Structure 1
């Protein structure tokens, strides 16, 4: 084997010297069973260790000198592929990988190794691992799984909020097939909008951001939807305690060049509670709550050079109630009707066209539309009937907010050689902000129609970038680039040039040191009232009075692969400026004034260290993560202008995640998490203040020393899941049993002042989730 490799190297070098020509192999790497493009698959020549990885559409391009090569292609969870190729001209080669029959150890010897890539602060989490983890109510949740990674924290217990390296929820660029998602929460934050059955890949970047990303300060969560099986019709689904879901996919037409995917999910909380509400109201009232989401995607292979994708997502949370009561008095019949509703949701569409202009140049053109809306309303009506005369009195009030985006972007991948992977592109977004509008109508004392709140605001955002992932020497490799962005709003023009650089230096074959520096600018803000991810949070733009958010971050670390494990250690420091918060006592309810008058501007900093050991293959997979961090905020109008801990400042954060495949039909999964208690603000003393007028009454005045100066009890919890899978002739069936908070830890949700048995005041802890068992039935065909 060694002689063969040496001879191939000699032939390649001789060919390059004699003819001085390079040729390119390019194509797509796909799943052999479903036809799905594989993102991040590796193809290389082991003799020269020249290789590359596929982009987000499964495309690769590898340029080598004239010669014969024994190419190898690999991807985690798939059988490796090898083929001898003689290069005397450019070659188009599409590769299909067969899924591994077992999850045995896979030796990865190319760019996929964590220590070889210059990118740091980035994590890929396999979707199958996410779906295997035990979670609240048995509802697999993408964002809750990401909360188990170092540097990423959740908000309150059970919520799907994401806080990355001290940033807020608005500082996460969450992309679904390249389209920003503004509200990622169902059920007031307890579930996320992403259905794992419709997802192909999740990549999280916490720092060292490549130049192609922009618009947020803290993280990028890049989510790719499945493309649909173009080989055969298939499906999967599940029935759980609070929701059911179904995914269907397959080819369209006999040529197998077109495929589709449709995935739907709905809760039935409203169906379960409706009989109870009717029984308690003697049939005169009804109401409930539910959410649903639908993912759909279709793609068409037009030619070897062209492919078109159409993606769609729509999700809605809806709470509703109504009642009607009738009564009579002195012969007059009265009918009272009440109706109220609360709903919020996202609509997302993306149309993409892939085109290869040559063996080394790949382009993707995308048109996008994204809409988030929130609406709450209440209607009251009284009908009075006295003989033949009927009178009607009606009042209605409605609150609405939202954001609409229409965008276009183009991205180019140019791979002139294995030493360079150049990306460049631009994007434009037209924003329409509706920061909160209150409408009131009534026919009492004459008709009235009143509208309060902020007016619609239009804005235009533009960005362009160039980045190069290049090999400086055998040991030193870097990813450097520039991201330029601008924002036009109310005749005010902002712009920003943001340099990015990540580097790695090899200390050995499996150990490297890494460093990164990145600056980021964000032109939108989220005004939030609390930590539950409530839909009342308002998206507002930078204005002529409120500047864009800005940050810079530096990180140092080391990465190593050993015995099937990936390990990394990172330390980081981040500064953030032009952050906004509500002033004391202000909220979105103060519609009489402009939102800009209700906020204060400040800064923040976050620093710490993160440790991660991850295992993606084998019978036992999972990770152990630990974060040591400090996160602070400083606002002139808050806490007397003094620095204070951010609400989600958490000194220690530990997570242990394990999935053990006992056999082909039985698996055990478990998670254990520990975190320092949340920072809270509590009064230190209280006194009575007498009235200054003749009414002679008093009121209690509470005195606070500092904002977030106290901590609730530490948080810890264990979850456990068991899954039995039974192969069937046309697929498989499985039952999952598990428990959230296995040892029934009473974790603090919030504190409230109360009294003990002697009548003395004290703080009482309230907990939200005790031990909660779940059961789920799943199937594939």
Structure 2
């Protein structure tokens, strides 16, 4: 019976487990206990108590049992260890409750201990004291779920999207994280990519639209082909899709992303200080998981905009298997001719930007195919294939300083990739994964410039440059994770990686370079997430890479820790050493023009990158309000730069240091959301320089250095209408001209975008349509990767490609 101020328990010759269960059900108290163990104790009681804790402690008084409270959960354990050695195993996978898509990297709390599912949504937990487990599950864009489950070796847990009204499921918490989650570890972000479809931008580039608005990821300069994270150089951030590396297509002018949004399921970012499973990079890690497809019924999604046509279809094949096919194609010339004018507020007096008219032509296509399934024993498998091509040509002409300048550029890129994956769930709760992957990028670039003087018909200067650069990666990776316990969560793995690069460069029909490099490496790693308490976790780990060509072992220890002060506030820190064996090296000429080329590190002309990361983070969240801070320090040695001069090419090696702090404030309220982020950073580099016959190294600003970047994004939910806007400000990059003052910035970056979306849903189909306006105020910005200088007899002419101008985009999306 229940009293206003007292808890009354009446029982005669009743087992303790039944009494505890009755208390749990009647008073809605969270309990964790061994049901079989408590059933062996018979209790007679007729007593009232002032609190649940007093009642529980009285019930176990005199018995070989302990009561421990962790957060709001009471845990009943035995005084003595389990002498029989019996283990209670809980394993399973988390899926979407509607189409049965697996949910990778979902958050699970088992008996107050936090876990993360693997890329196929699998998890495993082992206990010697509990046979009933309290589970708390959450996944971005889905309703949270609290439940109690018993021992189970192949449990299926369904979560439901927050946009779907499910009456038959009882949800303990109707709130859900919609946009992003920063509570994993320092420097980590997990993003709900579906929010990107409501933000301004092309529907073909919603993934990058969302990435560029996150703190620490450079948005100014619009370098969508390379994510610059925490001061990293181009090529130092790894983008992977379904287990294979994506080296990147041109994606000129920000309109088409390298990954098709229609087949994107999960998006996670590790800006630095990540664990030992990730290798071969000294910058950030962006991991994208593709959809598996529905095993219930065929589905179709189609998007058309003023740029491309995008189709994605899936269908069940055999039992618990599905096939996904997707493709994108431009259906007319993407860009019209446009005129570029010098920015009126350019403060860099040493360089003058000129007017020119660019006539571009662009073609793009890519295709994805994925077959996936799950066996009756809970084993997962898939085969994911990808190919893409883009061709970009442009010509320009201008008259400046009594010169006629005519130029043309041609760039062709072909990206391909594939991965075969198999996951084995063992009877003891262990999970083994093996991935075989290959990917590559073939790039061709040509540039022609014709310089004439109308007053002097005898003067003519021509230059022609041809560059072919290919990179390929083949890898095998094996990982095994033991079932998590309240003390540890052990992960180990090993693998093999092969990289090949080739480079051919001709200048004015004279071959300047022809190189072929290869690297073979064997690696292994181990780490253990050790729980000192449910609130305090330490994760030591170590990774070792053996370069077979260099005959050298690269040891990379890493350490991470986190402490949860309360359910709302958490701090985390990480440290580690990192190596990278391929490089996207900068090639600079006498005028300061930059080009980039993939090369395998040979340990001599191109050293192996070595970097040290220090990261400290904090996160606060309450009532759908988030504040997140990351502080980082990165030192990297082995930065290679090629210098092309009149005497030929030479290579120089230097180092870099980056320090900064990211702030993020986010609020969600009744379907509306907004966030603001600010990054304060400094990235410097040092290369040897001869002064008075002495070689010195002085730190100066790196090309990607930008002191301030401010971002805002917001979505207003007026269902079925959605209004959104975002703004990015960047304080500007230093000039790369050797004659300019390195402390003077180029043009600051300002861009304001707006969008409106309308959604129409019926039982069998869904429609979405919308309009975006990029750069609403037509602010002139420089696209940093397309800046070029042309020397004349007396002057240097500076030509640049404008970043996104005032650009309206329309889209229509249809899905079954």
Which TM-score applies when normalising by structure 1?
Answer: 0.79
Alpha-carbon distance in structure 2 between the residues aligned to 1:44 and 1:575: 35
Q: CA RMSD in A?
A: 3.7
Q: 1:77 to 1:155 in 2, by over 3 A?
A: closer
Corresponding residue of 2:806: 771
> Is 1:92 equivalent to 2:154 in the alignment?
yes
Alpha-carbon distance in structure 1 between the residues aligned to 2:779 and 2:392: 30
- Match of 1:163, SS? coil
- Match of 2:533, SS? coil
Aligned residues: 680
Which TM-score applies when normalising by structure 2?
Answer: 0.76
Deviation at 1:241, TM superposition (A): 1.1
Alpha-carbon distance in structure 1 between the residues aligned to 2:378 and 2:639: 45
> Is 1:512 equivalent to 2:570 in the alignment?
yes
Corresponding residue of 2:683: 631
Deviation at 1:108, TM superposition (A): 6.8
CA contact (8 A) 1:171 1:219 kept: yes
Pick from 746, 752, 757 the counterpart of residue 712 of structure 1: 746
Which range is displaced more, 48-57 or 743-752? 743-752
Corresponding residue of 2:343: none
Q: 1:157 to 1:347 in 2, by over 3 A?
A: closer
Corresponding residue of 2:352: none
Corresponding residue of 1:563: 623
Pick from 365, 368, 376 the counterpart of residue 434 of structure 2: 365
Corresponding residue of 1:63: 126
Which range is displaced more, 711-720 or 78-87? 78-87
Deviation at 1:517, TM superposition (A): 0.6
Task: Show structure 1 runs of 5+ residues with no match.
Answer: 275-285, 323-338, 380-395, 442-449, 684-703, 755-759
Alpha-carbon distance in structure 2 between the residues aligned to 1:129 and 1:480: 35
Deviation at 1:76, TM superposition (A): 3.4
Deviation at 1:554, TM superposition (A): 0.8
Deviation at 1:227, TM superposition (A): 0.9
Deviation at 1:172, TM superposition (A): 0.6
Alpha-carbon distance in structure 2 between the residues aligned to 1:766 and 1:318: 17
> Is 1:538 equivalent to 2:597 in the alignment?
yes
Alpha-carbon distance in structure 1 between the residues aligned to 2:559 and 2:190: 20
Matches within 5 A, 1:152-191: 152-154=217-219, 156-157=221-222, 159-187=224-252, 191=256
Pick from 634, 644, 665 the counterpart of residue 574 of structure 1: 634
CA contact (8 A) 1:44 1:73 kept: yes
> Is 1:217 equivalent to 2:217 in the alignment?
no
Deviation at 1:107, TM superposition (A): 4.5
Deviation by residue 1:210-229 (Cα, 9 ceiling, x = unmatched):
11001111111111111111
Q: 1:413 to 1:321 in 2, by over 3 A?
A: same
Deviation at 1:140, TM superposition (A): 2.7
Pick from 736, 741, 763 the counterpart of residue 770 of structure 2: 736
Pick from 703, 708, 722 the counterpart of residue 756 of structure 2: 722
> Is 1:237 equivalent to 2:302 in the alignment?
yes
Alpha-carbon distance in structure 2 between the residues aligned to 1:272 and 1:558: 44
CA contact (8 A) 1:217 1:550 kept: yes
Deviation by residue 1:434-468 (Cα, 9 ceiling, x = unmatched):
12255999xxxxxxxx9763232222022211111
Matches within 5 A, 1:337-376: 342-375=411-444
Pick from 641, 645, 653 the counterpart of residue 601 of structure 1: 653
> Is 1:668 equivalent to 2:730 in the alignment?
no
Alpha-carbon distance in structure 2 between the residues aligned to 1:138 and 1:305: 35
> Is 1:493 equivalent to 2:551 in the alignment?
yes
> Is 1:476 equivalent to 2:476 in the alignment?
no
Deviation at 1:75, TM superposition (A): 2.8
Q: 1:23 to 1:743 in 2, by over 3 A?
A: same
Deviation by residue 1:590-620 (Cα, 9 ceiling, x = unmatched):
9xx6xxx522110100001111123578411
- Match of 2:213, SS? coil
Alpha-carbon distance in structure 2 between the residues aligned to 1:91 and 1:614: 39
Alpha-carbon distance in structure 1 between the residues aligned to 2:746 and 2:556: 39
CA contact (8 A) 1:114 1:560 kept: no
Alpha-carbon distance in structure 1 between the residues aligned to 2:247 and 2:796: 42
Q: 1:494 to 1:192 in 2, by over 3 A?
A: farther
- Match of 1:363, SS? strand
Pick from 263, 270, 273 the counterpart of residue 198 of structure 1: 263
CA contact (8 A) 2:769 2:813 kept: yes
Alpha-carbon distance in structure 2 between the residues aligned to 1:22 and 1:678: 59
Corresponding residue of 2:323: 260
Q: 1:245 to 1:362 in 2, by over 3 A?
A: same
Q: 1:167 to 1:28 in 2, by over 3 A?
A: same
Which range is displaced more, 617-626 or 122-131? 617-626
Q: 1:743 to 1:138 in 2, by over 3 A?
A: farther
Matches within 5 A, 1:378-397: none
Pick from 298, 301, 317 the counterpart of residue 390 of structure 2: 317
Q: 1:369 to 1:176 in 2, by over 3 A?
A: same
Deviation by residue 1:174-217 (Cα, 9 ceiling, x = unmatched):
11111112234323766431111111111110122111001111
Matches within 5 A, 1:98-177: 98-101=160-163, 106-107=174-175, 114-115=182-183, 117=184, 119-135=185-201, 137=202, 139-154=204-219, 156-157=221-222, 159-177=224-242
Corresponding residue of 2:54: none
Which range is displaced more, 213-222 or 140-149? 140-149
CA contact (8 A) 1:27 1:60 kept: yes
- Match of 1:224, SS? strand
Corresponding residue of 2:349: none
Deviation at 1:371, TM superposition (A): 1.7
